[in-house]
Amino acid sequence: MKARERYNQLSTARHQFLDTAVECSELTLPYLISDDTTTKQNFKRLPTPWQSVGSKAVVTLAAKLMLALLPPQTTFFKLQVRDDKLGEEIPPEIRSELDLSFSKMERIIMDYIAASSDRVVVHQALKHLIVGGNALLFMGKEGLKNFPLNRFVVNRDGNGNVLEIVTKELISSKVLGKEYIPEPKPNSPTDNSNQGDNDVEVYTYVKLDEKTGRWVWHQECHDMIIKDTRSTAPKNATPWLVLRFNTVDGEDYGRGRVEEFLGDLKSLNALSQALIEGSSAAAKVVFTVSPSATTKPQTLAQAGNGAIIQGRPEDIGVIQVGKTADFATAANMAATIEKRFGEAFLQLNIRQSERTTAEEVRLTQLELEQQLGGLFSLLTVEFLVPYLDRTLLVLQRNGQLPRIPKNIVRPQIVAGVNALGRGQDRESLTAFMMTIAQTLGPESLMKFIDASEVIKRLAAAQGIDVLNLVKSPETMEQEMQQQMQQQQAQSLTDQAGQLANAPLMDPTKNPEALPALNEAVAQAQQPPE
């Protein structure tokens, strides 16, 4: 089946979700989601909401989600050895060395993510999730790319697993090149000659191959496959990430956070419009002149500030809008809805801090999990796990990371209410040592705890490279031997001095003591081995 035909078939099930997403976007961020148009519009006048509460709420929640999913100063995952492999294939005594190596690999991965533009695209995708409930991310060679809901369709099975994805893009023929664009057939429905700037519709058809179990995709233009566009990927490392905010059993698409409070947002928008228009009308100053008055309206209108005119004050009046009570009622209701809306989008608990700490991220994650009810569980399955798997695969192919045996080492996502990466390991280790010191006494630490092992685990938990920083056991043993030899030499020197000062060892008083004294001095001056 052609990609264009499959796109049109699946778009019928997307229609109601797209209409709701467009309505939610018009009340929050009008530029975010638009109708599925077939022509590129350079400028489109967007609707202007009567309030900015919706846009502020979406941006705030997206920023908090971004901080929780991809924290800037800590990892959202950790590499660890499977517990069932310790003692069988891997000696337990080398676990600390492995943790140090894993910590270094984690820093390489986080540096790779920080150097890319992934955070910008993920933040844009999160706004699409909050407003429209759906987003599609493609992890290409040049970084992430976000597809809004009006540019892709998806087909899932009964368990919610993705089976097919079809995207539609308007791409200039100058960008693609004539050698990559097939000639359209006569009277073809995909003939785009009437579109400006020679834009062509390019469809990308992605599906899961049942025979090979791999993802396969290609691009089509004018119902013909564009050459050099076929590609494949493993099932567990697909570059196509279909994200949802809330899921409903049996539905191919998700539902956004704004849809849950669409009634409040509509009411707030209507109240804001009434307050603004009413306030504008109430602020207008209109004078009235009695029909039988001697004061002429023209004279009053042309009079300047502070001018003196002839007339009677009782002939002139000012129209007052007696809607103060109605304005107060509307303002109170708008304030109530705004507060309720702000609580739903976590606007009321904004912590001010100069730098983002691990505790700040943990509290943000806990707050999100409590308020949004299992959102992290869904985003972990549909975003973090495949995103991490794909990143590991790309870095291993580029030679930036060594091959990780999947049957021994596994990456573990630790976002959400779980521990914050290796920071939790540090806190647990510190609490464990404090408990031992308080229970058994400080001297028990030196008796039962291996100091070198503690240093290695703390370094791994902190993400610190211990190369040339922490002394090796061989270096410590060598330094200890040298210190003991120096102490022995100093002891022999002191003994020689004491013997020289003794009366029996004085050569002037006891000539037989001279050979013994020379031998003691020679031993003291002999360099240590």
pLDDT tens digits along 289-336: 888 787 888 888 888 888 888 878 888 888 777 777 778 888 999 999
Q: Are residues 427 and 323 in the same domain?
A: no
- Residue 105 domain-assigned? no
Q: Which domain holds residue 498?
A: 473-525
Two tokens, residue 90:
């891997």
- Residue 393 domain-assigned? no
Q: Are residues 487 and 434 in the same domain?
A: no
**Is 112 exposed, middle or buried (CB count within 10 Å of its CB: 0-12, 13-18, 19+)?**
middle
Residue that terminates a domain, selected from 385, 411, 442:
385
Task: Kindly give the residue spans of alpha helices, DSSP state H, lying in 251-399.
Answer: 257-260, 262-283, 297-302, 324-344, 358-372, 375-379, 385-397
- Residue 191 domain-assigned? yes
- Residue 391 domain-assigned? no
Q: Are residues 381 and 443 in the same domain?
A: no
Residue-level pLDDT at 122: 94
Residues 336-380 have pLDDT tens digits of 999 988 888 887 655 555 555 666 666 666 666 667 656 777 888
d(C-alpha 165, C-alpha 217), whole Å: 9
- Residue 460 domain-assigned? yes
Question: What's the chain's average pLDDT?
Answer: 80
Q: Are residues 145 and 15 in the same domain?
A: yes
Q: How many domains does the chain have?
A: 3
d(C-alpha 80, C-alpha 71), whole Å: 20
- What sign does the dihedral 82-84-85-91 (CA atoms) show? positive
How much is the pTM? 0.73
Q: Which residue has the higher pLDDT, 331 or 413?
A: 331
- The angle at the Cα of 308, spanning 304 to 311, to the nearest 5 degrees, equals 110
- Residue 138 domain-assigned? yes
Count Cα neighbours of 446 within 13 Å in the Cβ-side half-sphere: 2
Q: Are residues 457 and 337 in the same domain?
A: no
- Please count the other Cβ atoms lying within 10 Å of the Cβ belonging to residue 256: 29
Q: Are residues 460 and 348 in the same domain?
A: no
- Residue 257 domain-assigned? yes
Residue-level pLDDT at 266: 95
Among 240, 174, 167, residue whose Cα is nearest residue 201? 167
Q: Are residues 321 and 460 in the same domain?
A: no
Q: Are residues 367 and 512 in the same domain?
A: no
Two tokens, residue 518:
């020379």
d(C-alpha 131, C-alpha 58), whole Å: 7
- Residue 357 domain-assigned? yes
Q: Are residues 489 and 362 in the same domain?
A: no
Least confident of 16-25, 109-118, 210-219, 461-470: 461-470
Among 171, 174, 173, 117, residue whose Cα is nearest residue 146? 117
d(C-alpha 115, C-alpha 400), whole Å: 14
pLDDT at residue 496 greater than cutoff 50: yes
Q: Are residues 465 and 351 in the same domain?
A: no
Tell me the average pLDDT across 214-221. 94
Residue-level pLDDT at 270: 94
Q: Are residues 460 and 338 in the same domain?
A: no
Contact 473, 466 (CB under 8 A): no
Residues 456-492 have pLDDT tens digits of 777 766 656 555 566 766 777 787 888 888 887 777 7
Q: How far apart are the first and last CA of the chain?
A: 84
Q: Are residues 484 and 507 in the same domain?
A: yes
d(C-alpha 118, C-alpha 140), whole Å: 11
d(C-alpha 260, C-alpha 90), whole Å: 50
